[in-house]
Chain A
Amino acid sequence: DAKTTQPPSMDCAEGRAANLPCNHSTISGNEYVYWYRQIHSQGPQYIIHGLKNNETNEMASLIITEDRKSSTLILPHATLRDTAVYYCIVRVAGAAGNKLTFGGGTRVLVKP
């Protein structure tokens, strides 16, 4: 699986959009970008994933650059409950076992 690079931490004001960057310059053509988050003392939670087109769901939007070497997760209106560690992962969809490996992630603190 390709390696990802994320800033270790960032702050965001409540009600504002949070833009979380992720670099994955060695991504392969068949690898997807996935985002999970982990709220303190809870298990990880799936957010969104995409291949090359931008994706949106009820939780967030995922913007992937045309060259696919980086992406941005957007939380449109951050709330205090969005405070968590956010993990960006790139891997082949449907790979045997779909097992996940998380790096350090970005620790997001939403402030009132």
Chain B
Amino acid sequence: GAGVSQSPSNKVTEKGKDVELRCDPISGHTALYWYRQSLGQGLEFLIYFQGNSAPDKSGLPSDRFSAERTGGSVSTLTIQRTQQEDSAVYLCASSLGGSGTYNEQFFGPGTRLTVL
């Protein structure tokens, strides 16, 4: 595809349920990021994947959050036992990756998660 895609676009779930959010990065991009944005707030980093390296999980808010990236492409963010404070827009971004220079991050449209 032409850009980063995410699914679903909207997800409503009940407190305590598990949810999975999907991200399809731009083909050829080795770096993939997950962020979340609560209502009216700025961007909060969650996790970063770069090629086959161990992911940077330093932004995950609790052990209920996990993410994987299979085959260096598609990524899934899983939130277990969802809480109301998990309600936010979850954004995925990808870039050419690597360090030493700045590679523009391209963002997907996000998944709006609402926990009732």
The stretch of B13-21, B40-48, B67-75 that contacts the partner chain: B40-48
The CA-CA distance from A32 to B100 in the complex, in Å, is 13
Assuming the contacts A46-B104, A46-B105, asked whether A96 and B99 have C-beta atoms less than 8 A apart, the reply is yes
> Shortest Cβ distance from A108 into chain B, in angstroms?
16
- Inter-chain contacts of B113 with A (CB < 8 A): none
A104 CA / B38 CA spacing, docked (Å)? 12
Nearest chain B residue, comparing its CB with the CB of A92: B102
Known: A42-B109, A43-B91, A43-B93. Is A94-B101 also a contact (CB below 8 A)? Answer: yes
Known A94-B100, A95-B99; contact A100-B56, beta-carbon cutoff 8 A:
no
Tell yes or no: A81 within 8 A of B by CB: no
List B contacts of A87 (CB < 8 A): 42-43
Q: A32 to chain B: which residues have CB within 8 Å?
A: 102
Let me know if A98 and B99 touch, CB within 8 A. yes
The distance in angstroms between the C-alpha atoms of A41 and B39, with both chains bound, is 11
Q: In the complex, which residues of chain B have a beta carbon less than 8 angstroms from the beta carbon of A49?
A: 102
* Chain A interface residues toward B at CB < 8 A: 32, 34, 41-46, 49, 87, 93-105
Which residues of chain A have C-beta atoms less than 8 A from B44's C-beta? 101
The residues of A that contact B4 with a CB separation of less than 8 Å are 43
Closest partner residue, chain A, to B48 (CB atom): A97
B interface, CB within 8 angstroms of A: 4, 31, 33, 35, 42-45, 48, 50, 56, 59, 91, 93, 95, 99-110
A93: which B residues are within 8 A, CB to CB?
101-102
Smallest Cβ-Cβ distance to B102: which chain A residue: A93
A44 and B101 contact, CB distance less than 8 A: no
CB distance from A32 to the nearest CB of B (A): 7
Nearest CB in chain A: distance from B100 CB, A: 4
A43 nearest in chain B by CB position: B107
Given A43-B108, A43-B110, A102:B103 Cβ within 8 A: no
Specify the chain B residue showing the minimal Cβ separation from A96.
B99
Contacts of B42 in A (CB 8 A): 87, 101-105
For A44, A87, A99, A105, which residue has the most chain B Cβ atoms within 10 angstroms? A99
29 contacts between A and B (CB under 8 A): A34-B102, A43-B91, A43-B107, A43-B109, A44-B43, A44-B105, A46-B105, A46-B106, A49-B102, A87-B42, A87-B43, A93-B102, A94-B99, A94-B102, A96-B56, A97-B33, A97-B48, A97-B50, A98-B31, A98-B102, A99-B33, A99-B48, A99-B56, A101-B42, A101-B45, A102-B43, A103-B42, A104-B42, A105-B42
